[in-house]
Amino acid sequence: MLEYSLLYPISTSTRCAMKLDGMWKFRIDFDGIGEKEGWFAGLPGNEMIPVPASFQDFYTDKDIREFTGDVWYETDFVVPAAMKGSCVFLRFGAAAHRAAVYINGKKAGEHEGGFLPFLAAVPEEAVSGSLCKVVVKVNNELTETNIPCGCTKVLKNGKKISKPYFDFYNYSGLNRSVWLMSLPKASIFDIDLTYSVSGCDAEIGYSVRTTGDGDVSLSLFDEDGKKVAEASGSSGIIKLSDAHLWQVRDAYLYRFSVRLSSGDVLLDTYDLPVGIREVRIEGTEILINGRPVYFKGFGKHEDSDIVGRGFNIGVMKRDFELMKWIGANSFRTSHYPYDEEVYRLADREGFLIIDEVPAVGLFESLANFLDAGTGKGARSFFSKPTTPVLLKAHLRAVEEMIARDKNHPSVIAWSLMNEPETSEENCVPYFTEVFNTARELDPQKRPRTFAMEVSSSPEKCQCIHLPDFLALNRYYGWYIKGGYEISDAEIMFREEMDKWKALNLNKPFIFSEYGADTYPAEHKLPSVMWSQEYQNEVFEMLHRVFDSYDFVKGEQAWAFADFQTTEGLMRVNGNRKGIFTRERQPKEVAFLIKKRWDSLPLDYKSEKRV
């Protein structure tokens, strides 16, 4: 289990949390000399950069935007007197893709994986009110032993270049907030919650882990601040009659308040927003609180102008408003866990999240978006000498994702990979361990899935038995039989779906990706590929197919908005499959989708409709 807590940082009467966001010193290690010259004790120069943000798009120099290697950050901080006597940490929301942290010139922590939090302990001698210096070395090189997968090559001029096996830009740096936080020496380390719903009655199972001895007690408050239940002990069950349930697009959040005490002395307290909801799969139905749900939504990216993958609270707000406008109720965090603030807002807004670990690129191809979309396999990927190292990193990321996100009511499923190669039996042991680990780690035993590209066909996929529901990425009408051949694309799509139907898997299917690149200024009559008119035609065709199969229980279009990718012949300054532009304005297809989604009931195609 993790040696550090991933509870969201908050300030209470016993713990403090403050952000260190702002302008930090910055240095790119073009010559690989930072370690040798002791940059960990302090950076040369006076260059400054915002945190959180990706570093690539601030500059006008292409060598900076495409830089692959080490970049260094530095800032000063003072530990407030209120933190004295506590355990003090720096908490990094994410550092892509690996980081080493130095406090006052001494290494305080390191982490691999670019999308989940980690802690670095502030040494006790620094907790004295004096000025402290933190330096962070962040490396963005891609490998086949960490996720997301790719490789790093060297050009003939000696400069490194990132070669991702995935179709989004390798934005990197300190992309999320950095916190200075304190915890009591005896503290609340972790909280596990489970739910059982029967009509309007509910049971909340809880388990609280602490770092020291003490008595655990807890209280549950409704949205009006009224205490509705209390209990004692580190584990147990709270029973509620006439509970306010957390429903799709109709959220209700209780406040779960935990206290750790020794006699009359309060050692620690932590408050957690709680949404009471139960997730089950019965046959081809996905049930939230016993009610069938049809998924309407998107695959998304954390991607916006200038700050890249850096968390942008304004863009987050706009995205949720657009999703509400268009009639969506869900999204997948393609292809990595998002900033925690996204989940907190989804909890409040009642959106369903398929939470995806950053296991993308498990398919050796520098044009993965094309090779995967057209069905080209890469059969040796899970038989390499480095595969055990990759698996270890993958499992660690699964553990960190579940530890961080397990108590969000919005998170109703785990996606454990995106578009891996699955046609050879050598992938089965790898997949099995990942799926079993996710089930073991999750107290709520949420459904598990992975996003399957077209090579993962009903005839070839070796891992169909593992997911609790199937998520298909399909690009009929674009990578497969695009343009005037779209009529053949529809026939081929139906032929594939008939084969899935014939397997009689008795599992729900959702379409986790589908769409067509569209340049927002392009109009053509009659339509051609890349035009707004053609994007509409593709979606109309796909919707006809979706509606023809009762076991299809959701559609998440690719993608919510245009996003940046590595430059290349198949991309016009990024992936243009967005329903909205990168600036978050609607393309014509957005109005077509809104009309459809507004008309579809939440329990669309369910046999349990009332």
Residues with active-site annotation: 419, 513
CA distances from 17 to 36, 89, 229, 234 (A): 34, 10, 28, 25
Residues with Cβ within 8 Å of residue 392, at least 6 apart in sequence: none
Q: Residue 88: beta bridge partners?
A: 182
Could you tell me if 336 and 93 are in contact, meaning their C-beta atoms sit under 8 angstroms apart?
no
* Spatial distance between the Cα atoms of 356 and 364, rounded to a whole number of angstroms: 20
Local structure of 387: helix, strand or coil: helix
Of 148, 161, 168, 411, nearest to 304 (Cα)? 168
Distance of alpha carbon 323 from the chain centroid: 17
Could you tell me if 262 and 213 are in contact, meaning their C-beta atoms sit under 8 angstroms apart?
yes
* Spatial distance between the Cα atoms of 514 and 299, rounded to a whole number of angstroms: 9
* Spatial distance between the Cα atoms of 205 and 441, rounded to a whole number of angstroms: 16
Half-sphere exposure (Cβ direction) of 73: Cα atoms closer than 13 Å: 27
Q: SS in 3 state form for 456-520? A: CCCCCCCCCCCCCCEEEECCECCCECCHHHHHHHHHHHHHHHHHHHHHCCCCCEEEEECCCCECC
